[in-house]
Structure 1
Amino acid sequence: MPKPLTANPALSDVVYKNQWRDVFDGTLPEGWEPTLKVSVVTAAFNSKTLDLTLASLAAQDYPEHLLEVIVVDDGSDPAVEIGAYAPKNTRLIRVHEELGEGWGRSNALHIGIEASDGDIVYWVDSDMILFSDNVREHAKWAHFIPEAATIGHKGFVEEWDFTPEQVFDEVRSDEIRKHHDLATLHRHWSLDIFEETDDLNTSGGRNYSTHMGACATVTRSVYEHTFGQRPELKLGDDTEIAYQIWQRGAVFIPVMSAETYHLGRATVQDKGREVAHFNDVHFAQKMPIPRYRRAATNRSWEVPFVTAVVKVDAATAQVARRCVDMLLNQTETDLQILLVGPWSSLASGRRRVLADEDLELHLLREWFRCEGRVTMLDDDPDDVFPSPYRLDVPVTLGLGASALHEIMRDVYVNDLGVVSYFAPEGADQSAVLTIRPTQAYSRAMRYASETVTPIEALDAVWGVEWRSSKELGLLDLGTAEPVKKVTRGEGDLAVTELRDQLKKVRSQAENARKRARANRERAEAAEARAEALGIKRRVRSKVDRVARGLRRV
């Protein structure tokens, strides 16, 4: 899909979806030199190759004053020591699990990133050898695309006998490349995705799982708006942080020129099934996309696929109950509802409850008090990160049971930007139903300013569209017939009528049983008569044969 035309010149260099080539194709202007600082963060636990990784980093052609390396010792035994070959600006941080500082790769990286201050965060595993221009090839993208998240190219080397001194010398002289042809080594599955998506240009960022922490970067301006590395994750943390930066507007770029050796086989080569079995459960909780991870339906997850926002006040509280009930009744159940209203201002002391002007708000709060998919807030959060979609539902609209399913089949499947649906005929035309992708909102808000409106920015980064609501079965709750309330007298009458109907049904059932019993008895009698008649006929036939024989004699 082509990028929409924008009349605002301030948005001319904004990346549309993940189409990075339209802004920068990697060709550098003549005489260009980097200005952004890179923070390389490496977690090490009993690593036998860390010295080789640091030696390759020491031989980089990136400006020394713009490169820092943070090594986080995650409880190694013996403890990590920085050898002779390491970048000048290298710091060592030790994690003490016994002091409650946690453990695991993600926890160590979280500590390391928090201690760094570079403009670009670069994840590098402690079993990598980076070629001399690796850092430069990664970093150049952030100078032209502020949301750049780059993925390097690695070849898996299964046998080696490098020394730190050798690595330093050969990386600096570029002789390191001659040991192996990357094209002949194990082919990583991400290369197939790059081919299928034109180097992620057509992916919309959905292939975020290719952004793996062995050699990947993101700008700090994107990272700092995420929750950061999740210390509780013990595997797959690079995929989860990749999901977060996608939802924060990252532009994913494969950099095949940023080459490395990965010292050792790929994990998926030996333990792919076990790792997937472990990760799938954790990924399903935290990442609603891709959808196949959530095989179970009609249940709640840590991060909902869609977060619906309904705003309510004293005047609309009565219709809000029906609005929210209809949302909870959707066939698409991966949904969380934020009910925004003046909850903290409701009186809790002595009052005339039936004459309270906020009576309907009190009743509404009680109605959903135990509903796990409804959260009551005083203020609209606006940002629903990391949930990938926000659905704004006017309180006077009721959604047909399959409405959300139809919306997501259009918006999610076609990777649309902001989509608004016209109010149903006869309803207040300001009651507009709108769905908005979080990744589009996150990137757009980076460009919204006094000269750029939010809707202009949203249109530039993902597109803005309007749709008919006829297929959604929307109900105008402001004019719709209310649910009939039954008085006590009417209730007694209704109970009497139900009892009469029950007696009638029971009587009909008993009559049917009697008829069935009579039919069975008649059938059994008929069967007995038929059997008796058959015996009589057989005896008569035998007697006749005997009589004929006697006559012949």
Structure 2
Amino acid sequence: MPKPLTTNPALRDVVYKNQWRDAFDGTVPEGWQPTLKVTVVTAAFNSKTLDLTLASLAAQDYPEDLLEVVVIDDGSEPAVTIGKYAPKNTRLIRVNEELGEGWGRSNALRIGIEASDGDIIYWVDSDMILFSDNVREHAKWAHFIPEAATIGHKGFVEEWDFTPEQVFNEVRSGDIRKHHDLSTLHRHWSLDIFEKTDDLNASGGRNYSTHMGACATVTRSVYEQTFGQRPELKLGDDTEIAYQIWQRGAVFIPVMSAETYHLGRATVQDKGREVAHFNDIHFAQRMPIPRYRRGAANRQWQVPFVTAVVNVDEETAEFARRCVDMLLNQTETDLQVLLVGPWSRLVTGRRRVLADPDLELHLLQEWYRCEGRVTMVENDPDDVFPSPYRLDVPVTVGLAPSALHEIMRDVYGNDLGVVNYFAPEGADEATVLTVRPTQAYSRALRYASDKVAPIEAIDAVWGVEWRSSKELGLVDLRTAEPVKKVTRGDSDLAVRELREQLGQERQRVENLKQRARANRERAEAAEARAEALGIKRRVRSKVSRITNRVTRA
């Protein structure tokens, strides 16, 4: 889908979805020089190749005053030391698990990022050798696309005998490239995705899992909008933070010119099945997309696929129960409902409960008190990150059971931006059902200003559309027939009616049986008559033959 046309100069250079080529193709103007500071974070635990990684960083052609390296020693034995060949601005941070500082790669990287201040965060594993222009090739994208999240190109080297001095000299001279032709080394699975998606240009960002921490960057302005690295994750943390930065509007860009050697085999070559078995469980809890990870239905997850928001007050509380109950009854069960209302205002002390003007709000609060998929909040959060979709449901609108499934099949299936559904027939035109993708909203907020309305920015980065609600079965709860309450008398009457129906059915079955027996008896009699008639015919024929012989004689 082409980028929507905009006449606002402030929105002309924004990236539509993940179509980075339209904004910047990687060709810098003549004489261009970088101005953004890069922070390289490297977690090390008993690494035997860290000195080689630091030596390659020391030989970069990026301005040294714009490059800092933070090495986080995650409890190595012996402790990490910084050798002779390392960038000038290199710091070492030691993590002390005994002091409650945690452990693991993600925890270490979180500490390193929080202790740094670079405009660009560059994750580099301690088993990488970066070619001399690597940092520059990564960093240039952030100078032209503020949401840039770049992925470098690595070749897996299984045998090596490099020294730090050799790496420093050969990276600086360019001779390091002569050791291996990257195209002949192990082909990483991400290259297949790049080929199928025009280098992610056509991916909409859904292939965020290609943004792996061995050599990947993101602008700090995007990272700081996330929850940051998850210390509790011990594997797959790079995929999880990639999901977060996607939901915060990151633009994913493979940079094939940012070349590296990865010293050692790819993890998936040796332990792919074990890693996937471990990660899939943790990913399913935190990442609703891709959808295949959540194989179980009718259950809750840490991050819901859809967060539905329903605003209620004392005047509309009478409709809220039916509205929310219909939401909870959807065939698409991966959702959370935020019920926004004046809950702190409710009086809980001595009062005339039946005359309380907030009676319906009290009853609503009690109705959902133990419902895990409904959360009562005082203020509309607006931002539902990291949930990928926000659904705004007017409290006077009810959704048919398959409505949400149909909505998401359209919006998620076609990677749409904001979609508004017209009010059900007879309802106020201002009553609109709206779906909003979080990644679109996050990026749009960067451009919203006094001169750019948020909805205008969203249209520029992902699009805004209107849809008919006729096929969704939306109900205006203000005019819909109320749900009939069943009394004890109604129940007894229903039982009597059912018993009468059962008796009628039994009688009908008995009549059918009698009819079948009568038919069987008639069939047997007809068969007997036919057999008797056959005997009579044979006797008559025989008598006739004998009579004829006697007559001829």
> SS of 2:192's equivalent?
helix
Tell me by how many angstroms 1:115 deviates: 0.6
Q: Does 1:145 align with 2:145?
A: yes
1:533 match: none
Inter-CA distance 103–517: structure 2 relative to 1 (3 Å threshold): farther
Inter-CA distance 29–353: structure 2 relative to 1 (3 Å threshold): same
Q: Does 1:500 align with 2:510?
A: no
Whichever residue aligns with residue 496 of structure 1, its letter is D
1:467 match: 467
The whole-number CA distance in structure 2 between the counterparts of 1:60 and 1:111 is: 25
2:458 match: 458
The whole-number CA distance in structure 1 between the counterparts of 2:272 and 2:517 is: 67
Q: How does 1:116-195 map to 2 (within 5 A)?
A: 116-195=116-195
> SS of 1:151's equivalent?
strand
Tell me by how many angstroms 1:419 deviates: 0.5
Tell me by how many angstroms 1:513 deviates: 10
The whole-number CA distance in structure 2 between the counterparts of 1:67 and 1:126 is: 17
1:25 match: 25
Structure 2 residues without counterparts, runs of 5 or longer: 519-553
Whichever residue aligns with residue 495 of structure 1, its letter is S
The whole-number CA distance in structure 2 between the counterparts of 1:363 and 1:104 is: 47
Give CA deviations for 1:281-301 in whole Å, capped at 9, x if unaligned.
000000000011111111111
For normalisation by structure 1, the TM-score amounts to 0.91
1:542 match: none
Give CA deviations for 1:9-63 in whole Å, capped at 9, x if unaligned.
1111100000111111110111111000000000000100000000000010100
Tell me by how many angstroms 1:503 deviates: 4.6
Structure 1 residues without counterparts, runs of 5 or longer: 523-553
The whole-number CA distance in structure 2 between the counterparts of 1:29 and 1:403 is: 51
Inter-CA distance 328–252: structure 2 relative to 1 (3 Å threshold): same
Q: How does 1:101-500 map to 2 (within 5 A)?
A: 101-485=101-485, 491-500=487-496
Inter-CA distance 455–163: structure 2 relative to 1 (3 Å threshold): same
> SS of 1:143's equivalent?
helix
1:50 match: 50
Inter-CA distance 508–485: structure 2 relative to 1 (3 Å threshold): closer
Tell me by how many angstroms 1:500 deviates: 2.4
Whichever residue aligns with residue 344 of structure 1, its letter is S
1:99 match: 99
Percent of aligned pairs with the same amino acid: 83
Give CA deviations for 1:301-342 in whole Å, capped at 9, x if unaligned.
100000000000001001111000101111111111000000
Tell me by how many angstroms 1:501 deviates: 3.5
Tell me by how many angstroms 1:512 deviates: 9.0
Whichever residue aligns with residue 24 of structure 2, its letter is F
> SS of 1:68's equivalent?
strand
Tell me by how many angstroms 1:216 deviates: 0.1
The whole-number CA distance in structure 1 between the counterparts of 2:485 and 2:496 is: 22
Superposition RMSD on alpha carbons, in Å? 2.0
The whole-number CA distance in structure 1 between the counterparts of 2:95 and 2:11 is: 44
The whole-number CA distance in structure 1 between the counterparts of 2:177 and 2:213 is: 22
Give CA deviations for 1:56-109 in whole Å, capped at 9, x if unaligned.
000101001100000001111111111111111111111111111111110110
Tell me by how many angstroms 1:483 deviates: 1.9
Whichever residue aligns with residue 434 of structure 1, its letter is T
Whichever residue aligns with residue 441 of structure 1, its letter is Y
1:66 match: 66
Inter-CA distance 128–347: structure 2 relative to 1 (3 Å threshold): same
> SS of 2:144's equivalent?
coil
Tell me by how many angstroms 1:507 deviates: 5.4
For normalisation by structure 2, the TM-score amounts to 0.91
> SS of 1:274's equivalent?
helix
> SS of 1:313's equivalent?
coil
The whole-number CA distance in structure 2 between the counterparts of 1:499 and 1:74 is: 71
